[in-house]
Amino acid sequence: MKQNSAAVEALLSEQRERVLAEWRAELSAGGRELASEAREAGELLDAVLAGVRANGNTENFDDMPWAHVREVLSALSRSRAAQGSTAADTSRFVLTLKKPLFAGLQRRFGQDSAALVDATWEVSSLLDNMAQYTVTSYQRTREDIIVRQQQELLELSTPVVKLWDGVLAVPMIGTLDSGRTQLVMETLLQRIVETGSALAIIDITGVPTVDTLVAQHLLKTVTAIRLMGADAIISGIRPQIAQTIVHLGIDLEGITTKATLADALALAMKRAGFTVTRSKAAAAGASGLFAVQAPGSAA
């Protein structure tokens, strides 16, 4: 074991409580909440001591003896990311340990400047590696959180709604890409199986633009629906979208399209054999009163 590594081990062994107290003081001076970080600080300090004892070389941070330190730092980074802290705040938690360790080394070596410089450099290198590792772990965690949130938002933005017996609707909002098309397909086909629905309405009122790629995605969805023994209606065909489809030469032949979701629902109920009529009260001036006659029922 190198002499300066042994000095770091001795410092953490003999002056653990003092170093920990000075570290907490540094955190408190920076406006940190000691109650939430006291346990993490003590755990990390113990992990560093175990790593120094097992390895004797503070520069090779990727080695197995530092695995527990990396685990502690990963857990710390995940916790900070979930709480909304920044990567800078996360690494600063580790870097504030420098001053207490430097002070401890100063007390230990006194006038031996050469040994003090060597030990200080080794401690500084170790803490820099630890801080860098927290940043990397934090960024990885944030990326995972963003991906998960994007997936959740995607699922929320493509709900499958049961409008009537045997009639499902998928209101599309935003850009329609390959990943979203696949999700819509899977969710819609599963709902068709669960409900036994014979008709699905794909409403693209909330889709800002329709190009060749979007049209291909819609055609694939309709094809998948038909393979399940159901049929599909595309609603929300605005004048601008209709002109774009014509200019692009997109062939929607064989696919029923409607301008609004209401028109599509009316057609769907007509295909199912339902008749929607206004009640006498509605004819007399009251609003919102309709009667639905089921197939085969008396008028």
Q: What local confidence, expressed as pLDDT, does residue 88 receive?
A: 87
Domain architecture of the chain: domains with CATH = 3-154 (1.10.490), 161-273 (3.30.750.24)
Residue 143 CB partners (closer than 8 Å, separation 6+):
none
Q: What is the dihedral of CA 33, 39, 43, 48, to 10 degrees?
A: 30
Q: Which DSSP letter does residue 294 get? A: P
The token pair that represents 8 in the structure block: 């770091």
Q: What local confidence, expressed as pLDDT, does residue 87 receive?
A: 86
Give the C-alpha separation, 40 to 120, whole Å.
23
Q: What local confidence, expressed as pLDDT, does residue 114 receive?
A: 86
Residue 98 CB partners (closer than 8 Å, separation 6+):
123, 124, 127
Give the C-alpha separation, 74 to 90, whole Å.
11
Contact 252, 216 (CB under 8 A): no
Give per-10-residue mean pLDDT for the chain (299 aa).
70 88 83 66 89 75 87 89 83 90 87 85 89 90 82 69 88 77 84 92 87 84 91 91 84 86 89 75 56 58
Give the C-alpha separation, 7 to 160, whole Å.
65
Q: What local confidence, expressed as pLDDT, does residue 99 receive?
A: 92
Q: What local confidence, expressed as pLDDT, does residue 168 receive?
A: 93
How far CA 292 is from CA of 169, 272, 295, 298, in Å, comes to 19, 12, 10, 11
Spatial strand order of the sheet with 161-164 comes to: 161-164, 167-173, 199-206, 231-235, 256-258
Q: What local confidence, expressed as pLDDT, does residue 232 receive?
A: 93
Q: What local confidence, expressed as pLDDT, does residue 1 receive?
A: 44
